[in-house]
Every structure is written in C-alpha cells, then in structure tokens.
Amino acid sequence: MSTSVAKRVKKTANSQNKLPSILKRPIASQEDYEMRVGPGWTLSDGTYEHVPQSKRRKRDVPYPAYVDLAHESMFGLSSLQLGYNAPITHCAMDIATEHVWKCLPKGVQELIEVAPPNGPELWSNNARDVDEMYQRMREDSALKNQSTYKYYSLLKRKPWTVWPIWVEDDYGFDWVVIVWYSEESQASSGVYDRVRTYEVYDPRRDMGHPEGAQDGKKRDIIQDRSERIRDRWLDFLSKGGFDTRNVRRSSARMCPMVSDDYTSGERCFAAVKDILGSIRDNYIDGVTFNPDRDSLPSLSRWVNPYGSRIEMAGINAWVLMSTFSYNARIVVECIEPEMKTDIVVDGQRRTIKPFELAGPRYPPLIAAADYCVDPQVESPSK
C-alpha cells in the first residue's frame, strides 16, 4: 500500500464546453493531469514493495487513461467515505448508475439511456435559477451554432430514459428519478422525441392531507413537489423539440423513507437498478412496450440504504482503479480510535467517531403493501 494520494485536474476551457456523455469520454493530454502526493504512514500487506516518497520517480506514479473519469470517480468515492449518511454527490451517482447500465445485455443497453444526474436549478423552487439555466443553455447553443441545446440529442437516442435529478425545496434536499418512454415521431428515424408515459419516483412522502392522515401514516408523494417537477420536466423537453401532447403518468411508487430521513440518494440508486432490471426482464426477448396498455413498474417496498451505499462505494472504487489500468490501489487511511472528524451531514456540521462509519445497527422496516410509512413504528430502528 502507498501513501494517501490526492489528485487534482486542471480543466481547460475546451473541456468545460464538451457534450456531457456517459458513453464517450476523451483521453486527456499529459498537461491536463497533475498528481500531488501527501505525507502519511501506511500498512503494507507485502503485495507490492513500498517506494518511499523521497525516491519516487515519474514512472512510479501511474497515469490514468481517462483523466476526467478518474477525477469523477475519485471525488465520488471520497464523498461516500465521509460517513454512512453523508449526502450522495452527483459524481458518485453518475459513476454508479452508469456502471449498472454497462452491466446490462447489449440489446437492453440499446433500449435505455441512463442520463447523467442533473439539478437542482431546473427542479427547485427558485424561478430565477431556472431562467439563468435556460439562458446558459441558449448561450451555449449560439456558441456552437446549434438550434437546440446539445444535451437534447442524448435524451432522444433511445426509447427509455432514466434520469436521476437533485431537488432542493422546503420538504428537503432529495434525489428523485424521472423515467419516461418515448416513440419516434417519424418511423425509422432513430429519434425518440414523442413522449408517451412517465413517472416521477420520489422516496419522500407527504401526510396525504393538510390536516394529516387519520392513522398518522404518510400516504403519498408530496403533491406540489411532484407537480412542479412534472411541469418543469415537460417544459424542458418542449424547449428541445419533444412532443408531449399525449403523455400520461403511470402512478408507480418506490420504497419510501420517514420524514427525518436523508437516504434518498441510496434509494434512488436502488430504484435505477430496479427499473433497469424490470425493463431487462420484460423486454429482453423483443416484447414491445405498449404505452396505451402497459405502465411503469412500482418498485420494491424495502431498500437497505446502507447496503446500496456500500455498492456505490465499491463501484466508484473499482472504476477509479480501472482508469489507471489496474496499476493503482485504493488506500485505506487509518483514523486514531479517539480522534474526532468534522464533516457536514444533512446540511449540518457535526463530528463523527470511527465506529459510526460502520453504518446503522438496525435495518429499516418494510413499508406497508400500500407503500405507507408509519413513523411511530419505524423510528426505533434508526
């Protein structure tokens, strides 16, 4: 094992204007990459001979094949290591969901697009942020001499689209997944721009009524948030030339969380896996989805967020190693037993001790058959 390594990428002006893609990533030049090695002590299992920092040469430090992918997976892994309940970052979500998509059969990959995570500007309460985002999109399109924003071409390539988004509002800061099915406006064009059915999978639940449900259970997704996301999403697609006149909602549900929980990122990652698996199982043999008859699936009533977080950390670590052609290893930093570490969790600064990184001691309870959550019986398991 080597000393802990911090990586820094200098992004050029050209790299900031590239089309965001989860499929094609350019190979960066040598000048774009720098590595900074910090002091520290390590434990070695003897697999590789340790090279002291003072004697390292340039050839002793591996160079990644894809610098931007190495930086993204490194940041994703680092953010996941801050604590078992620290927020899921965009980088961690992007790397993890892309990997799940890559593990699908080739025929299923050609049916589904897992779009890179987006938010919060387009989906949150602040209307000024929405206007500024559209202004940046128009300026980028004018700079590239394009009639529409370049990102729309990604969303029109395949009939199924799965899109994790980050939403910030009065109800909380949460990950939400939008799934939709599209058809070709012109047959055999390869452009899926006519949206037929969709669903907004939101793990946060409302009480169902302003005065609260009679049994105290949270009944449904937050209605005004759901409607706001739907309206913003339809407006976004309309600006890109999508036909949304005949779209309908599927009214599907996903595993809920209690009011004071902040595990939406882990639950949405599990939801992406569940959705991709459902499409794979139902349409792998050439069966055609009928938007007039079929609906999007309701997902599992139970998810262990910590288990999903471990899987996301493993994926980010594996992708990070692969960018170095497996000539790098993930370093485990040792924290002294009584040492306190400052982190920001759920929007609040707090201190953690090492034993807390092992995760919660009790798994969450299974939601009722109607996807209701009873906070009185679930709170002791936290």
CB 185, CB 175: distance < 8 Å: no
134 pLDDT above the threshold of 70: yes
**In this structure, which amino acid lies at residue 75?**
F
Q: Rg (Cα) of the chain, in Å, rounded?
A: 22
Burial bucket for residue 242 (CB in 10 Å: 0-12, 13-18, 19+):
buried
Q: Is the peptide bond before 120 cis (omega within 30 degrees of 0)?
A: yes
Residue with more model confidence, 110 or 205: 110
258 pLDDT above the threshold of 90: no
Average pLDDT, the chain: 80
Q: Alpha carbon of 121 to those of 117, 118, 159, 167: distances in Å?
A: 12, 8, 26, 8
Percent of the chain beyond pLDDT 90? 47
Lowest mean pLDDT among 2-6, 39-43, 49-53, 217-221: 2-6
The sign one gets for the Cα dihedral 250, 254, 260, 261 is negative
Q: Measuring CA to CA, which residue among 351, 231, 363 is closest to residue 308?
A: 363
Lowest mean pLDDT among 107-116, 152-161, 246-255, 367-376: 367-376
Band (pLDDT 50/70/90 cuts) for residue 369 is confident
DSSP per residue over 162-221, as a string? EEEEEEEETTEEEEEEEEEEEEESSTTSS-EEEEEEEEEE--BEE-SSTT--TTS-B-EE
- CA atoms of 34 and 8, how far apart (whole Å): 6
Burial bucket for residue 236 (CB in 10 Å: 0-12, 13-18, 19+):
buried
Q: Measuring CA to CA, which residue among 275, 286, 278, 282 is closest to residue 107?
A: 286
pLDDT at site 222: 85
* Number of helical H runs and strand E runs in the chain: 10, 11
- CA atoms of 97 and 308, how far apart (whole Å): 12
Residues contacting 169, CB < 8 A, separation 6+: 124, 125, 225, 228
Burial bucket for residue 210 (CB in 10 Å: 0-12, 13-18, 19+):
exposed
C-beta neighbour count of 337 within 10 angstroms: 8
- CA atoms of 137 and 149, how far apart (whole Å): 6
pLDDT at site 227: 93
- CA atoms of 266 and 83, how far apart (whole Å): 13
Structurally, the chain folds into a number of domains equal to 1
Give the rounded distance of the alpha carbon of 214 from its chain centre: 35
CB 120, CB 166: distance < 8 Å: yes
**90-102 and 67-80 helices, crossing angle to 10°:** 110
Q: Measuring CA to CA, which residue among 120, 230, 208 is closest to residue 170?
A: 120
Tokens 């992708």 locate to 319
- 322's torsion region: left (phi>0), alpha (psi -120 to 50) or beta? alpha
CB 32, CB 82: distance < 8 Å: no
- As a whole number, mean pLDDT of residues 169-187 equals 93
- CA atoms of 151 and 129, how far apart (whole Å): 18
Band (pLDDT 50/70/90 cuts) for residue 371 is confident
113 pLDDT above the threshold of 90: yes
Q: Residue 229's domain is classified under what CATH number?
A: 3.40.395.10
C-beta neighbour count of 188 within 10 angstroms: 6
pLDDT at site 183: 95
pTM of the model: 0.80
Range of the domain at 150: 5-381
102 pLDDT above the threshold of 50: yes
Q: What is the pLDDT of residues 11-63, one digit of tens each?
A: 333 333 333 333 344 444 445 555 555 555 566 667 777 777 777 777 777 78
5 pLDDT above the threshold of 50: no
pLDDT at site 89: 94
pLDDT at site 36: 58
